[in-house]
Structure formats: C-alpha cells, structure tokens
C-alpha cells in the first residue's frame, strides 16, 4: 500500500486530537470547583478503581500552557477539549464560579495565540454532583439545567469559540452510568437507563438549539460512540441478536436526533421509554446539527444468548476470538472506521461527519527516555487509511481527531491503559512524546 499522505485529503480536512476535562485536568477541588459525579464515584468505588482517581490526573489545569506548546510543536492545530460543568457552576445551576470561567478563558486565549482552534465539548461525563442529588440525567429538569449551563458557556466563550460539541457519547454514559453502574453515578436498572436516555436526548437537541440561538455562525455537533457490529455465525438467531446490539450501540441517539424517533422495534422493552415522553418531545428531540462526531475504536461480534436480559444478545469477547487486541481488550479492526462512516452516511439528510475520536491503548515502555510504540502508530495509520477509503467512496467526512494527546485517567480502568501520543509519568508529570506522536507530527507537517 502506498504510504499515507495528508495530501490525499482535502486542504480543509480537520486534523486534531481530543481530550476530556476529568481525564486530564486534575485540580478537582481547586479555585471554587464543585464536585462532579466522577469526584464522588472515585471516592465511593475505591475497590473497583483500585484507589485510582482524577484528582490530579495530568495536572493539565496547571500545565496547560506547556501542554499547548507541545501540541503546537507536534503540528496539532485542532484541540477538542471539554469544559467541566462544575468548574463553571459548582452547584450545577445558579451561582457562577468566576475562577472557572477564568481558567477556560486562559485556556482558549492561549490556544488561539498558538494557532490552535478550540473545539469545545460541553459535556464529557462529569455532571455536577449537586444535580445528581436531584436525580441528574434521570430528572427531566436536567434539560433546563443543561441549557442554562450551555448558555453561560456560549456567552462567556462564544466570542472566540465557534466549534461546539454538545455531548460526548450519550449511549456510553447512559448505559455505563445508569444501567450497569460501572461509571459515575453508579446507578443500575432499566428505569434509570430509560429515563437518563430520554432526558439526555432531549438535552442534546435543546443544548444545540441554545447555542444556535445565541451564536448564529456557530458550528454545532455532538458525538456518538459507534461499533461495526457483526453476527457471530450465519444463524438467524445471531443475525437478529446483532441487529438488537446494533440498535443499542449505534442507533439509539442518532435516530431521534434525525427526526426518526427512537428505534425501539426489535427490543420491545425499549418501548417503555414512552413513559418518560411528553407532548411535543418527539419534535423536540430533533435538531439539524452542523456535523456529527463519530467515535470508533473497534468492532463487536454478537451472539444470541437467552441469559442476557432484555436483549438476548452478548458480545463475544475479543480475547476468545484469537485476534489482535489493544490494552482495553478491544479487537484491532481498522475497517470498523470505514463501516461506521458508511453506515452513518447512509441516513437521509445526515450532516457532514467527523471522526471525533479514534486511537488505541497499548503498554508503553520507556527505554533510554524514549517510547517506541509501533502498534499505536500502525493502528492510527490503518484507521486513517479507512477514513480515506470511505471518503473516496463519497462519504462526506470532514475531519479526524486522535484519542488522545496525553496518557490519562481512563475512567473505570484508571491509569493502566495508555492512549496518549504523549507519555505521562504520573509520579513526576514528565511528558515524553511517543514515536506515534512524532509520526503524527510528521504526517501533519
């Protein structure tokens, strides 16, 4: 295969990296920040997380200037980062924390001085704890709380920020946080999941509407986690199981946003979401985004299983399939990016697509102060090749962001999986650019 060249893409194709506040900032209780559900969760679930937490993380809160300079040295001109809601509004609503506003003002100003375009994610999983005490995403009022927070961000930062991402991966935080209880706020069960899902979908469209009403020249999108789903065998049972998994993993949030309603069809129990719906909701769930962010890491192989409640389908673990895997035990399957782009592009009236996250965790070893990470480099190259393949087949894909810049707090997995282009020694906060980071810099040059 010919070597991958940036020139194969359009000149205005957007290349960047993505990060998230709780995973890198640290300073968890500094300068008036209120606790988020993750601050509380890491305290409550010490054994699950082996005592790991994001209290300090990469200390980006204090080191952002040096980190932005490093980003710039690596020829990265687009940085997708998130705002921690409870830095801006410590109680989630009401009182504004000026020091929180100051921090993001400085971060944005520094970025622009360095020529780095800020892409702001408004919610990357760190709901203010005070709102969780009132039900968080399971309370319908969250739509207004979120809209109010979004308006504050647009009013304070909108003179410099034009690119907004409303939510990061709603399916993941609703499922992991409100059904399985393995992410903050650690809630379990179908009812909390369905309530959170509906209110999140409402807040997503509402948040976007708020941005557009305050800033007509904004570029507004939202992001979805996606996996290429395939059945384990040719049996009809597995095919139907894969359909159900696809519904949950890929279709649950995009379809109401596009005005198609919830895709409840093949999972009967999802019809219970109607319990949370009010008049006009169907209409309110819809919004014409300027772009859709897709985040893809792997594919899933699905098998029928009588034992799994509600969906009678289970993921066949990559470990048991004799395939190459990452440190997350996710199969290395670059074609998944291509299939995901093709799948989403097939929706009628879909806006332009951007890969807002893609990357891989592999164990890294520091040898003589350097990190050679050929697997990560290959993973990224292969994925970008698949983006190109989709683009050449006519998919309207406008950008690609690597997950992620720095090794960081990988949620329930703590600090073990390292996704960064830049290695972080968490005992000293030293940064070392990995070979994959040097490769990306060279590619972007």
Q: Does residue 325 belong to the site contacting ligand BGC (CB under 6 A)?
A: no
The CB density around residue 171, as the number of other CB atoms within 10 Å, is 19
> Shortest Cβ distance from residue 46 to ligand BGC (Å)?
20
63 by Cβ neighbours in 10 Å (0-12 / 13-18 / 19+) ranks as middle
- Written as six digits, the tokens of 122 are 């408004």
Site string for ligand BGC, 211-230 (x = CB under 6 A): --------------x-----
Q: Which stretch binds ligand BGC (CB under 6 A): 32-40, 53-61, 165-173, 308-316?
A: 165-173
- Which of positions 402-431 make contact with ligand BGC (CB under 6 A)? 403, 410, 419
Provide the β-strand partners of residue 121: 82, 165
- Which of positions 378-407 make contact with ligand BGC (CB under 6 A)? 403
Q: Does residue 172 belong to the site contacting ligand BGC (CB under 6 A)?
A: yes
User: Which residue among 169, 300, 357, 410 is the active-site one?
Assistant: 357
> Shortest Cβ distance from residue 56 to ligand BGC (Å)?
17
Spatial contact of 6 and 399, defined as CB atoms under 8 Å apart: no
d(CA 111, CA 15): 15
In the complex with ligand BGC, the residue whose CB is nearer, 132 or 169, is: 169
Q: Is 357 a catalytic residue?
A: yes
Q: Does residue 250 belong to the site contacting ligand BGC (CB under 6 A)?
A: no
Among positions 9, 15, 17, 20, the unique one binding ligand BGC when judged by CB under 6 A = 20
Q: Does residue 331 belong to the site contacting ligand BGC (CB under 6 A)?
A: no
d(CA 405, CA 424): 10
Provide the H-helix boundaries in 74-216.
85-88, 98-113, 129-132, 142-157, 170-178, 190-214
Q: Does residue 298 belong to the site contacting ligand BGC (CB under 6 A)?
A: no
Q: Does residue 168 belong to the site contacting ligand BGC (CB under 6 A)?
A: yes
Q: Does residue 357 belong to the site contacting ligand BGC (CB under 6 A)?
A: yes
Q: Which stretch binds ligand BGC (CB under 6 A): 71-79, 167-175, 193-201, 343-351?
A: 167-175
> Shortest Cβ distance from residue 50 to ligand BGC (Å)?
17
The CB density around residue 347, as the number of other CB atoms within 10 Å, is 15
In the complex with ligand BGC, the residue whose CB is nearer, 200 or 225, is: 225
Long-range contacts at 243-248 (CB < 8 A, ≥ 24 apart)? 244/311, 244/312, 244/313, 245/300, 245/302, 245/311, 245/313, 245/315, 248/171, 248/175, 248/311
SS3 string, 189-225, reads CHHHHHHHHHHHHHHHHHHHHHHHHHCCCCEEEEEEE
Q: Does residue 295 belong to the site contacting ligand BGC (CB under 6 A)?
A: yes
Phi, psi (deg, nearest 5) at residue 17: -135, 155
> Shortest Cβ distance from residue 418 to ligand BGC (Å)?
11
Q: Which residues are catalytic?
A: 357
Residue ranges binding ligand BGC (CB under 6 A): 20, 23, 168-169, 172, 225, 295, 357, 403, 410, 419
């Amino acid at each position: 295969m010919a070597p991958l060249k940036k020139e194969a893409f359009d000149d205005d194709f957007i290349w960047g990296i993505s990060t998230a506040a709780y995973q890198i900032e640290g300073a968890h209780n500094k300068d008036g920040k209120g606790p988020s559900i993750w601050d509380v969760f890491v305290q409550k679930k010490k054994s699950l997380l082996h005592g790991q937490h994001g209290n300090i993380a990469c200390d980006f809160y204090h080191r952002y200037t040096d980190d932005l300079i490093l980003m710039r040295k690596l020829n990265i001109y687009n940085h997708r980062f998130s705002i921690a809601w409870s830095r801006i509004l410590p109680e989630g609503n009401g009182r504004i924390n000026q020091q929180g506003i100051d921090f993001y003002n400085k971060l944005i100003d520094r970025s622009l001085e360095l020529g780095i375009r800020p892409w702001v994610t408004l919610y990357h999983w760190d709901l203010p704890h005070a709102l969780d005490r009132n039900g968080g995403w399971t309370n319908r009022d969250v739509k207004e709380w979120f809209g109010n927070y979004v308006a504050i961000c647009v009013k304070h930062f909108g003179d410099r920020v034009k690119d907004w991402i409303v939510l990061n991966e709603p399916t993941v935080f609703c499922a992991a946080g409100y059904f399985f209880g393995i992410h903050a706020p650690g809630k379990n069960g179908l009812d909390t999941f369905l309530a959170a899902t509906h209110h999140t979908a409402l807040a997503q469209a509402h948040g976007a509407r708020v941005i557009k009403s305050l800033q007509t020249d904004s570029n507004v999108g939202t992001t979805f986690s996606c996996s290429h789903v395939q059945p384990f065998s040719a049996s009809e049972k597995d095919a139907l199981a894969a359909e159900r998994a696809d519904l949950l993993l890929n279709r649950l949030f995009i379809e109401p946003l596009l005005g198609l309603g919830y895709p409840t069809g093949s999972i009967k129990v999802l019809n219970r979401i109607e319990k949370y719906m009010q008049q006009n909701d169907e209409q309110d769930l819809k919004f014409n985004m300027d772009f859709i962010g897709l985040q893809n890491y792997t594919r899933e192989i699905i098998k029928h299983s009588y034992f799994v409640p509600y969906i009678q389908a289970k993921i066949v673990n990559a470990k048991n399939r004799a395939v190459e895997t990452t440190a997350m035990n996710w199969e290395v399957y670059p074609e998944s990016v291509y299939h995901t782009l093709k799948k989403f592009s097939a929706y009628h009236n879909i806006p332009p697509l951007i890969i807002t996250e893609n990357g891989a965790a592999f164990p890294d070893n520091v040898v003589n102060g350097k990190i050679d990470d050929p697997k990560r480099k290959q993973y990224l190259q292969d994925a970008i090749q698949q983006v190109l393949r989709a683009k050449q087949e006519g998919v309207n894909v406008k950008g690609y962001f690597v997950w992620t810049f720095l090794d960081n707090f990988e949620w329930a997995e703590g600090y073990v999986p390292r996704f960064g282009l830049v290695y972080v020694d968490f005992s000293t906060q030293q940064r070392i650019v990995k070979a994959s980071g040097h490769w990306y810099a060279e590619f972007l040059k």
